């Protein structure tokens, strides 16, 4: 079945540590890729997106993600996290040609001050 996989559902790290969250998908063909973030008590909001072009995408709040087509991956990174990055992070894939988003299960990230 087509799916979006996110591993290490719970991540705990200290401020200033580097963060990398993996995302792999199993859809063939052209896809659009997204990372969404949900801060405690808030709604889902878009962190960054990739449609085409440079496979290294920069988003808000110092986050970036790299699309590696051969690995069907779209990993999220931040070199130095802050306490305010505590949130749940969702990878989402849009297979080309339709409007639906397919989400992964999410990564719950806790940053300890």
Q: Distance between CA atoms of 113 and 60, rounded to whole angstroms?
A: 21
Q: Is residue 24 at the binding interface for another protein, with CB under 8 A as the rule?
A: no
43 binds another protein (CB under 8 A): yes
Q: Name the segment binding another protein (CB under 8 A); options: 53-61, 63-71, 78-86, 91-99.
A: 91-99
Q: Which is nearer to another protein, 77 or 95 (CB)?
A: 95
Give the C-alpha distances (Å, rounded to integers) separating 49 from 83, 112, 113.
23, 27, 29
* Shortest reach from residue 50's CB to another protein, in Å: 11
Q: Residue 104 is encoded by which pair of tokens?
A: 């992964």
* Residue 67 in contact with another protein, rule: CB under 8 A: no
Distance of closest approach, residue 44 Cβ to another protein, in angstroms? 4
> Which residues of the chain form contacts with another protein (CB under 8 A)?
4, 6, 9, 32, 36, 42-46, 49, 51, 90, 92, 94, 98-106
């Amino acid at each position: 079945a087509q799916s979006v996989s996110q591993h290490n559902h719970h991540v705990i790290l200290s401020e200033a540590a580097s963060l990398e969250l993996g995302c792999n998908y199993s859809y063939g063909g052209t896809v659009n890729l997204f990372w969404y973030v949900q801060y405690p008590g808030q709604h889902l909001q878009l962190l960054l997106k990739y449609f085409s072009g440079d496979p290294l995408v920069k988003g808000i709040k110092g986050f970036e993600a790299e699309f590696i087509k051969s690995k069907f991956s779209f990993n999220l990174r931040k070199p130095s996290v802050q306490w305010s990055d505590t949130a749940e992070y969702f990878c989402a894939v849009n297979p080309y040609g339709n409007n639906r988003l397919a989400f992964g299960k999410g990564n719950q990230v806790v940053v300890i001050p």
